[in-house]
Structure 1
């Protein structure tokens, strides 16, 4: 008789922990296997000399009712309200983010604005008929000149590939529906823009890791262990059933017989670990998918206040840094000394490229130098810092990824007892609330309460924190239907 629960959850990020927690609430035991030494995945909170920082900032805002209920149930009074402010830093000036054309035209000046409007007018007469790439999608909506000013440099810095190699669906998912025409009408005739952004959001007072650590504590207390430092090394299967999960823990390999598996590990790693391996066509698709890695360099600066933003997007080819977080502006408790500021200098790269292989000292020197170049803080006031490298942070949406992902999805859907969830488990650039929703639905599928297609969870509508009063109140077409069934 096995000493392990018959249900294994792979990965202790938002999706995996939510799935295990939902199972536990219904009396169904599981064991969660996590390769790292902390829960939360890319949503974890790291600590250095008392300074706390996110691995990529995470606002707690959602339109998914079941996720909102979980947040309050697990964390409750440990949430604080945080003012929302993110801006683009370009050519020594700040621009609203998400990009607001009216603000952008004003900041760029009359001459440049006229050139942008002419470029916009031209594309309206001669648009791309088929939007296959990010470049085509953005240019059709903003014109080529504004695309080159605000989208090209930053996007290519993040993804490491040219915009004509990135799929249009990434732009449709991540860039809110803006209109230069509406911006001009607003400026000339004071036409009201019915779209607004949320003014504040919830945030755990000690960072997002506080949420996932609370999930971990609750699961361990219910005899649903979260086993750390336990990377999965092999998935044994018999036809379309997973029979065993093998993990390396404390220097030994553990072999666990399983009845059900919910996986949020990178789908490419999941398939590569299968024994016997998937068909050659599936493995070809696996090898065609790619990820972007991420490095965050938190630097401690001997100055109490620098800028009011939660984070800043750096649209400048003069520096390598892509985004800068100001952790004190997320929560004052993230910075133990109120006379200091801790900034997270975020760099995007590929695993094992030149940037990834810089030493920690070289990365700290680079971060200190670049904050000075940008004029956001004097280099000489940088007094300490550390380096965190995050592999497989962002699934890449190149032009052909959907073709390859469909092959993988079709293969996975043949399994009787395996579900994949979350960002990496589904190779989908979603937010933590959508990752959690896939975890909830996977658990309820396993419990037999319903059968939801996890791949159909819509990640587009609520990403941008943008809504009208009517949209906030009325049901939406797909994802809220899922949320309603899950609530």
Structure 2
């Protein structure tokens, strides 16, 4: 067990610091690093006994390294990119980006290319898909409420069932006929089956030699940067820089209580893995802990504890298999659109970085299973999960069982905040209460704000929080950093996002502040959320 602290042997002591930080993930460590650069003292608690980085950590087992979920290092925010380069200046590598869909033994481009999909499906099945498509266009559903309604109208029942239904339900744990049609319209952009098929006929007659896959949108980035030993390398470097500046990082410390001292400051008590109690006194507190856990451990209890307790999360686990074989596929990961198996996505760790797999004769892949904490998958033993993953690799035709020479299971709780009927109102209620009562309590990061955001957005919430703390006033509304993969570069959008005019917004801050990530919402919740 690794127990990292500011100085050795000071478990169970009291710390008097400027800022107490709950959680050593990207948001917590970004805050800690920037605060110590400003000369402020910090103490960070992390319940994991070994790894920093949260969901962005890199797990090591017998020399093999595993990325939990897959983390491409790309951001439209120059401030975030500069910070990455500052923390980890010499260890980025450039990697090719490739992700595909795997269905019944064949690979399909991602994003989906309609003509290629029909070609790969074969004459009989593609004919059925086209007949289904023609039927949907001739007799569309009049009332379009769900993801299923919208996608069926666009592509027909057959293509919907093959390329949209199975994977979407695996990831989000809810039926497609309960998801909002708005999410489908936002998520599936530019794909025109009719345009792709018409172009295919033209090319078959020699009338058009320019390929057109029916996609109006631009292709994804072809390469991305990546730490050579995985994303955890970034956060281990941040940890070391915080310690070098005199900060404290207490591993294996679970939050017990966060109590107001009645004078605007905080008392944070934590329970070390070895037992006992550690006390931290601070002027400010930063929490990246799940809002539900924070509310349950605050003293006095917030009036919105009941609302916070209703917040839900989607969990997942990775079963990493070592396989005596050459690499099975060149992709960073493949999406599994097959209802015969439970696995949703398979990572190829060597494609992220060759240094993550030490043996050139061994392929190392991670099968990702989306689940809820406590369900049958989550509660299965490691041996049973490794056996399941091995069996499903055989069902998919990727590996024979005798090729598997080892495996390990990594569980990730609260990986994705769930956007259900009541989440927006519950988050808004808790946020309003805490901001009014406790101006020195700052919520950051994905779980700290219950927002499905990317690593760079989590960092941005911490970066702006640090500016607020250093200024001793609220320069920025960090809740304007939305949760998302798509950026809008216009600086004026950020200026209209509720930021005080006392601090101008730079273009890269505007990009982060104005973004919107698409996540599914249940049908009943959609009108309320749009109104909000």
- TM-score in terms of structure 1 length: 0.89
Q: Which position in structure 2 is the counterpart of 1:50?
A: 63
Q: Counterparts of 2:159 and 2:432 in 1: how far apart (Å)?
A: 39
Size of the aligned set, in residue pairs, is 473
Q: Counterparts of 1:419 and 1:482 in 2: how far apart (Å)?
A: 24
Q: Which position in structure 2 is the counterpart of 1:154?
A: 167
CA shift at 1:381, angstroms?
A: 0.1
From the CA coordinates, give the structure whose radius of gyration is larger: 2
Which structure 2 residues correspond to residues 404-415 of structure 1 after superposition, within 5 A? 404-414=426-436, 415=438
Which structure 2 residues correspond to residues 19-418 of structure 1 after superposition, within 5 A? 19-37=31-49, 38-109=51-122, 110-118=126-134, 121=137, 126=142, 128=144, 134-135=147-148, 138=151, 142=155, 144-166=157-179, 175=187, 177-180=189-192, 183=196, 187=200, 193=216, 195-237=218-260, 241=264, 243-249=266-272, 250-279=274-303, 282-414=304-436, 415-418=438-441
> What SS does structure 1 have at the residue aligned with 2:331?
coil
- After superposition, give the CA deviation of every residue in 1:413-454 in whole Å (9 maximum; x if it has no partner): 322111111111111111111111111111111112862222
Q: 1:169 to 1:267 in 2, by over 3 A?
A: farther
Q: Which position in structure 2 is the counterpart of 1:429?
A: 452
- After superposition, give the CA deviation of every residue in 1:226-247 in whole Å (9 maximum; x if it has no partner): 2111111111136795631111
Q: Counterparts of 2:180 and 2:297 in 1: how far apart (Å)?
A: 28
Q: Counterparts of 1:123 and 1:85 in 2: how far apart (Å)?
A: 37
Q: 1:168 to 1:417 in 2, by over 3 A?
A: farther
> What SS does structure 1 have at the residue aligned with 2:413?
strand
Say whether 1:455 aligns with 2:479.
yes
Q: Counterparts of 2:313 and 2:392 in 1: how far apart (Å)?
A: 25
CA shift at 1:481, angstroms?
A: 5.2
Q: Counterparts of 1:168 and 1:214 in 2: how far apart (Å)?
A: 43
C-alpha contact 1:100 1:178 (8 A) present in aligned 2:
no
Q: 1:477 to 1:44 in 2, by over 3 A?
A: same
Q: 1:237 to 1:166 in 2, by over 3 A?
A: farther
CA shift at 1:143, angstroms?
A: 5.3
Which structure 2 residues correspond to residues 455-474 of structure 1 after superposition, within 5 A? 455-462=479-486
Q: Counterparts of 2:47 and 2:190 in 1: how far apart (Å)?
A: 41
Say whether 1:11 aligns with 2:23.
yes
C-alpha contact 2:103 2:337 (8 A) present in aligned 1:
yes
> What SS does structure 1 have at the residue aligned with 2:17?
coil
Q: Which position in structure 2 is the counterpart of 1:441?
A: 464
- TM-score in terms of structure 2 length: 0.82
Higher normalized contact order (CA 8 Å, seq sep 6+, divided by chain length): 1
Structure 1 unaligned residues grouped into runs of 5+: 464-470
